[in-house]
């Protein structure tokens, strides 16, 4: 096989691999975590939770909501996420990273959906 044919085959296989990775990554979802099971030892772990908003506090640059299932966990949502319609009793689907704040776990949201 000459060099140009080998380069063409390599390029095609590489592009197919990238395309398959894109398809697979788009279809992978985190399973929901129970808020009561999130501990400070989970710091750095990416979790997905859903629950009802118990309270909302707006501050400069971020929104802090307390999300409730059977337990409550604070969630920090930076305003650059363009989320403005979060109210008490809203139902949220949140994906984010667990952080330790003053000895208690909180979630820094990456993705937020208001349902």
For range 36-54, the mean pLDDT = 93
**Computed from CA positions of residues 25, 29, 30, 31, in that sequence, does the dihedral angle turn out positive or negative?**
negative
Provide, rounded to the nearest whole percent, the portion of the chain with pLDDT above 90.
Answer: 65
* Contact predicate 53/84, CB 8 Å: no
What are the residue ranges of helices labelled H in the chain? 3-27
For range 76-96, the mean pLDDT = 85
Q: According to CATH, what is the number of the domain 35-114?
A: 2.40.50.140
Average of per-residue pLDDT values in the chain: 90
For range 80-96, the mean pLDDT = 84
CA–CA distances in Å: residue 88 to residues 20, 69, 99, 114: 41, 14, 23, 12
- Separation CA 77–CA 49 (nearest Å): 14
pLDDT-derived band of residue 76, with 50, 70 and 90 as boundaries? very high
Structure confidence by residue, pLDDT tens digits, 102-113: 999 999 999 999
Q: List the beta bridge partners of residue 47.
A: 96
Kindly tell me if the per-residue pLDDT of 84 is higher than 80: no
* Contact predicate 38/73, CB 8 Å: yes
* Contact predicate 73/106, CB 8 Å: yes
**Predicted pLDDT at 82:** 66
């Amino acid at each position: 096989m000459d060099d140009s044919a080998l380069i063409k085959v390599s390029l095609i296989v590489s592009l197919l691999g990238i395309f398959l990775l894109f398809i697979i990554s788009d279809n992978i979802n985190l399973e929901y975590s129970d808020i009561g099971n999130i501990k400070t030892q989970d710091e750095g772990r990416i979790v997905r939770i859903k629950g009802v908003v118990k309270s909302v506090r707006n501050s400069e640059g971020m929104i802090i909501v307390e999300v409730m299932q059977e337990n409550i966990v604070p969630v920090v949502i930076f305003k650059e996420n363009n989320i403005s319609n979060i109210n008490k009793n809203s139902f949220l689907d949140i994906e984010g990273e667990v952080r330790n704040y003053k000895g208690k776990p909180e979630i820094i949201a990456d993705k937020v959906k208001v349902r």
